[in-house]
Structure 1
Amino acid sequence: MTSKNFLLTSLFCALWGIGISGSVLAESQTPPALESLRNLNAEAPTRRALNIQRWQTAEGARVLFVEAHELPMFDLRLTFAAGSSRDGTLPGLALMTNALLNEGVADKDATAIAQTFEGLGAQFSNGAYRDMALVSLRSLSATEQREPALALFQQVVSQPSFPADALERIRNQLLAGLEQQKQNPAKLASLELFSRLYGQHPYSIPTEGTFESLPRIDEAQVRQFHQQGYAAGNLVIALVGDLQRSEAEQIAAQLSAVLPKGPALPALPEPQAPVAGRYQVEYPSQQTHVLMAQLGIRRTDPDYAALYLGNQILGGGGFGTRLMEEVREKRGLTYGIYSRFSPMDAPGPFSISVQTRAEQTEGTLALIQKLVQDYLAEGPTQEELDRNQREITGSFPLSTASNADIAGQISNIGFYNLPSSFLEDFTRQIQQLTVQQVKEAMQRHLSPEQFVIVTAGPKVAQQPLPEPSADAPKAEPLGVPEH
């Protein structure tokens, strides 16, 4: 191994808080250039400093800009508050509108649009989610590539033609996807969970639409949604790359000027607390999907860092978490079990997901409930806290490793009205948190009695769980995970 390759290996290991194998050391015959994070006295590794510049266009679009001249390119991300939570009585409307943007403009069809971007070395992407709709462009920053790429991008976002044949094709694709969902127990469980968790709140709306709603969506409704959801006042513009401030201002101003005129859409309502309970989705299978959830937090919650750290210890960090250790490693009940907070504009869910043998569903569920109850009551250990603080602060620099990563970070900062110092604040808060603070934050926001539980699988006779083993579990998970 060359010294350069060894340095890269050492850097990766240091960032992720892991050691370097003996075989690497033997081959190198030199000590590692970087030490493990255990020897950094809890100090965060150096990460890319960001100077986030912010302003607002005349039409009300919020702009966040980071100059980065290392590469001759730039990333542009538009974030509209136009996700499925704005669908109203037509689930799937936000997704269809977003998918149709690059299907045609006045002088180009979808093929010509794709070929033009490709010929300029530019990349276009888009997507719609519960909170937001995204449209992104990556382009070379040289004028001869930048200007035509931006011109087409502006046309696609502001003046899509919504061709009838494309609308029918996308509708049929979504309907076909709904048919496929009938064979996906994990998706069926997720749909049932969001329906039970959010009731009449807009977050209960299926992003992909329904069999009843998709046939009712026509061109007029898509155009109306575009007029309101893709208005300049409903937009956050994130720009990162090889641009001067004056160039960024010009790009943002031109984009904002050509979009529909209109204000930001109203804030989403507060969801009502769901009724805790257990719900079964019948599905013929050898395994059962188990989803547990309760209302979590908004993206702006001051406990965000403490909850992020607390969840990494519980089940968000993969191997080494409480849930993974007890459910997989000691008992072999699953290939993987994960927990997560999904903070959004309104309180998003805290969820736990696992897939296990159908005959061990009840025992696995009871075990998870007991693990969560004990964790909320006792909090993490100091060793768990120290290890996860090292891992989070060590890996966090990777979240701003590329211009696209930075564009994603600052678009979220703008969309959720977070301070420009959010990234620095987050790492500092993670480092300073104590066991007691993490425990109290988790207790403030979670209750072991408030879970909405959905299981998707068959009703079969149940078997007792195997005893925990410090060695290999007595029973391995059945087959590969389904779907």
Structure 2
Amino acid sequence: MGGCIPLLLAVSAVLEAQATRAPARRPVARPTAATPAAEPPLSPAIMGDDSLTMKFEVSGIPVILRRVTANNVVAANLYLLGGSRQLTPATQGIELMLLETSERGTNKYPRDLLRAKMAALGSAIGVGAGADWTTVGLRATTAGLDSTWAIMADRIMAPRLETPDVQFVREQFVTAVSQRKDSPDALLDFLADSMAFSGHPYSLEPTGTESSLKTITPAQLRDYQATQMVTSRMMLVVVGNVSRSTVERLVRTTIGRLPRGTYTWSLPDPPADLPGGYVMEKRQLPTNYLQGYFHGPKATSADYAALRLACAVLSGRLFGEVRQRRNLSYSVNAPFVERAFSLGGLYVTTTQPDEVLTIMLQQIDALQDGLITQEGLEQLVQQFIVTYFLDNETNADQANLLARAELYQGDFRRATRFVQELRAVKPEDIQRAARTYMNKVRWAYVGDPAKVTPARLLRF
């Protein structure tokens, strides 16, 4: 939650250097939403040229392949589309439970054989469930790719799902979910996400809840595997030193044989335009935890990059004011959450939440008044680009970048346009994004209710 400290320091320094040149803040009423920027049409001229990456289809499964010859590591991410829209309150966690149970044995690979082969290969297969898709991620060397792929494919196509294994995984999941109450940050994340997306499918928990996990049966898992492991729900992104013909062969001879199904990917409906609000969870803790979210633009909007940078600017200002100057927190930032419909946020852990809330509101007002200059923005963008790509330099990270561009923005080549989009943002775009989106904040608070004034939370 603390964010990237070097970037925040750089942002703070940039803004401090220009502070004397920034225009005086004028009184502004809490903003009404400005008109978002128009979404630019895509054209080959602005898409960027990524000659290392291609898209093709194998047995009805879209495949994006980026050929990277600098190392012999292959990352293959299989995306099972739908995410929280696949779920009901009673089935939260079902897909993740199915895939984790598959690690305990398949038709071709009983548990002990599966684990022995994975250990000998030195490969890894990981599973992660998110709001819009579940990812089954393979990491292998080029020499071990075929054998690792065979195991991953069989986990998807033919898991055993024996009752003792399901019960074992269920107990692990229930324990993990129940421990969320013991971690203030984990509880805060859960409450904040639920507040931000009340009534929306995103409010459902892909990792499950205690009540849903306790009632999902082996029969339900088998039915889900039979009906939902279909090629229409799949997209594969491969990054590494591997040829197209190899990828085509691996897909065609394994998961490409699954039923087609009738699933069609689409962006989720926008979340409801909810008023500001808050939820509190009383805890006796050394400090208090606050996380607030406001809804941002969809990923295809020109405002997407502007809000991303506006959150970076706000993070820098909060770091400078709250942590460096006043020593009110060891962790404060303004996160930007990448989804089909983005989120911006405010996070802090502090013993003095009222004082920090006042600072947060002041810094948002400053952004809405036009805090940053062109010179300061150019320095910020350069720092941001360096940090962002350092955080996304592995083959697996590149796979996720390509997937988000393809699924959220409609074309994997938008990933190569990322730098251009950031550099095209002007100070007035950041001001507009702050005025349009940085309001109607929905808060989660974990700590001592006596330390925070509810009316302050509702001023945002």
TM-score range, shorter chain: 0.7 to 0.9
Shift, 1:313, TM fit: 1.2
Aligned-partner Cα distance in 2 for 1:451–1:302: 22
**Structure 1 CA distance for aligned equivalents of residues 256 and 174 of structure 2:** 36
Q: Aligned equivalents of 2:181 and 2:386: distance in 1? A: 41
Q: Is the contact made by 2:108 and 2:154 (CA closer than 8 Å) also made in structure 1?
A: no
In structure 2, the partner of 1:468 is none
Q: Is the 8 A contact 1:17 1:394 kept in 2?
A: no
Q: Which residue of 2 aligns with 1:53?
A: 54
Are 1:326 and 2:321 matched, yes or no? yes
Query: For residue 343 of structure 2, what is the aligned residue in structure 1?
Result: 349
| Alpha-carbon distance in 2 for matches of 1:461, 1:313 | 28
Q: Which has the larger radius of gyration?
A: 1
| AA aligned opposite 2:343 | P
State the secondary structure of the residue aligned to 1:133: strand
Contact persistence 1:277–1:453 (CA under 8 A): yes
| Worse-superposed segment, 261-270 or 193-202 | 261-270
Note closer, same or farther for the CA distance 1:93–1:377 as it changes in structure 2 (3 Å cut): farther
The TM-score with structure 2 as length reference comes to 0.81
Q: 1:297 and 1:101 mapped to 2: Cα distance? A: 37
1:119 and 1:286 mapped to 2: Cα distance?
Answer: 46
Conserved 8 A contact 2:368-2:431: yes
In 2, Cα distance between equivalents of 1:196 and 1:461: 21
Tell me what 1:273 maps to.
273
8 Å contact kept, 1:236–1:414: no
1:458 is aligned to 2:453: no
* Letter aligned with residue 429 of structure 2: Q
Q: Does 1:106 align with 2:107?
A: yes
Q: Where do 1:59-458 residues align within 5 Å?
A: 60-89=60-89, 90-142=91-143, 145-265=144-264, 267=266, 268-315=268-315, 321-345=316-340, 347-357=341-351, 360-398=352-390, 401-444=393-436, 446-448=437-439, 450-458=440-448
Q: Map Cα deviations across residues 204-261 of structure 1 (whole Å, 9 max, x no partner).
A: 1123322321111012222233344432111111112222222222223334423343
1-structure distance, mates of 2:103, 2:297: 34
Contact 1:82 1:229 in 2 (8 A): no
Higher relative contact order (CA 8 A, sep 6+): 2
How many positions carry a matched residue from both structures?
408
- 1:310 touches 1:380 (CA, 8 Å); kept in 2? no
Matched with 1:318 is: none
Give the aligned partner of residue 7 of structure 1: none
Q: CA deviation at 1:135?
A: 0.9
Q: Answer with 146-155 or 289-298: which moved more.
A: 146-155
CA separation of 1:187 and 1:138: change in aligned 2, threshold 3 A = closer
CA distance in 1, matches of 2:229, 2:298: 23
Q: Which amino acid aligns with 2:66?
A: V
Q: What is the CA–CA distance in structure 2 between the aligned matches of 1:163 and 1:419, rounded to whole Å?
A: 40
How many Å separate the matches in 2 of 1:338 and 1:280? 20
Once the two structures are TM-superposed, the CA of residue 354 in structure 1 deviates from its matched residue by: 0.5
Residue 25 of structure 1 is matched in structure 2 by none
Q: Deviations over 1:1-43 (max 9, x none)?
A: xxxxxxxxxxxx9xx999xxxxxxxxxxxxxxxxxxxxxxxxx
Structure 1, residues 108-136: CA drift from partner, whole Å, max 9, x if none?
A: 33342122122133222222122211112
Q: How far apart, CA to CA, are the structure 1 residues paired with 2:54 and 2:71?
A: 19
Q: How far has the Cα of 1:417 moved from its partner? A: 4.6
Letter in 1 for 2:416: E
Q: Cα 1:170–1:247, aligned 2, differ >3 Å: closer, same or farther?
A: same
SS at match of 1:273: coil
User: Hey, what's the Cα distance between the residues in 2 that align with 1:338 and 1:129?
Assistant: 22
- What's the % identity of the aligned pairs? 21
Aligned mates of 2:185, 2:357 — CA distance in 1? 16
Q: Residues of 1 paired with 2:451 and 2:230: CA distance?
A: 55
Q: CA deviation at 1:68?
A: 2.3
CA apart distance, 1:403: 2.6
**Distance of 1:125 and 1:111 partners within structure 2:** 18
CA distance in 2, matches of 1:62, 1:127: 20
Any conservation in 1 of the 2:58–2:251 contact (CA below 8 Å)?
A: yes
| 1:80-123 C-alpha deviation (Å, 9 max, x unpaired) | 11434422132222321232232210143334212212213322
| Cα offset, 1:290, TM superposition | 0.8
Closer, same or farther in 2 for the Cα pair 1:251/1:399, shift >3 Å?
farther
After superposition, what is the alpha-carbon deviation per residue over 1:426-476, rounded to whole angstroms, capped at 9, x for unaligned? 1012223221122223333x143x11122111133679xxxxxxxxxxxxx
Q: Aligned in 2, Cα 1:460/1:251: closer, same or farther, shift over 3 Å? A: same
- Letter paired with 2:170: R
SS of 1:262's equivalent?
A: coil
User: Is the deviation greater in 298-307 or in 391-400?
Assistant: 391-400
- Counterpart residue type for residue 337 of structure 1: V
Residues 125-176 of structure 1 show CA distances to partners (whole Å, capped at 9, x for unaligned) of: 222122211112223324xx44333222211122111121121112111221
Shift of the alpha carbon at 1:73?
Answer: 4.1
Normalised to the residue count of structure 1, the TM-score between the two structures is 0.77
* Pairwise CA distance, 1:342: 1.2
The 8 Å contact of residues 334 and 347 in structure 2, kept in 1 or not, is answered as yes
The C-alpha deviation readout for 1:17-75, integer Å capped at 9, x for no partner, is: 99xxxxxxxxxxxxxxxxxxxxxxxxxxxxx96521111223x3111011223334422
Which whole-Å CA distance do the structure 1 matches of 2:125 and 2:188 have between them? 33
Kept in 2, the 8 Å contact 1:154–1:255? The answer is yes
**Bigger shift: 276-285 or 380-389?**
380-389
With 376-385 and 284-293 compared, the bigger mean Cα shift is at: 376-385
Distance change (3 Å), C-alpha of 1:66 and 1:255: farther
Q: What do you get for the CA RMSD once the two structures are aligned?
A: 2.7
CA distance in 2, matches of 1:168, 1:430: 48
